[in-house]
């Protein structure tokens, strides 16, 4: 009985309370600055475009630009690897192979190079397939 009486009279009391109802806190939390900034960032987050979202002419254009400028990017990656490691680690055939493997890994991580290498591999495989049909057919 006493508990029911206290539940009914808690809203009528004017003195400070240790425990507060969740519904009373909710109104204060709605105006919290953190909640507002989170809602703003959620509203203004941009959707990251993938290659499937781009039109075909942009994909072809970027693939052609990749084929033209890929040697420059690869030479930059090669120089980056040479400056990062000592020269003694790249002596001989295995060292030279290791140098170019490291450079190719760095090269593929730049921008979307790995996507365009994949596109070029698919196009090259289609060309080889048609050449195989015409020469052996």
**Angstrom distances, CA of residue 83 to CA of 80, 93, 97, 108:** 5, 19, 16, 18
Task: Supply the pLDDT for residue 67.
Answer: 93
Task: Supply the pLDDT for residue 27.
Answer: 63
Whole-model pTM: value is: 0.60
Low-confidence residues in the chain, pLDDT < 70: 1-33, 35, 44-46, 137
Question: Hey, where are the domains in the chain?
Answer: 2-44, 56-136
């Amino acid at each position: 009985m006493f508990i029911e009486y206290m539940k009914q009279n808690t809203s009528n009391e004017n003195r400070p309370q240790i425990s507060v109802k969740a519904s009373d806190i909710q109104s204060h939390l709605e105006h919290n600055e953190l909640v507002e900034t989170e809602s703003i960032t959620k509203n203004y987050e941009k959707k990251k475009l993938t290659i499937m979202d781009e039109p075909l002419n942009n994909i072809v254009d970027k693939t052609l630009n990749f084929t033209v400028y890929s040697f420059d990017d690869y030479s930059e990656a090669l120089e980056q690897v040479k400056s990062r490691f000592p020269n003694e680690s790249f002596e001989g055939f295995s060292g030279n192979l290791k140098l170019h493997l490291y450079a190719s890994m760095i090269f593929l991580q730049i921008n979307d190079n790995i996507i365009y290498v994949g596109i070029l591999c698919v196009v090259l495989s289609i060309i080889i397939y048609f050449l195989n049909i015409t020469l052996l057919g």
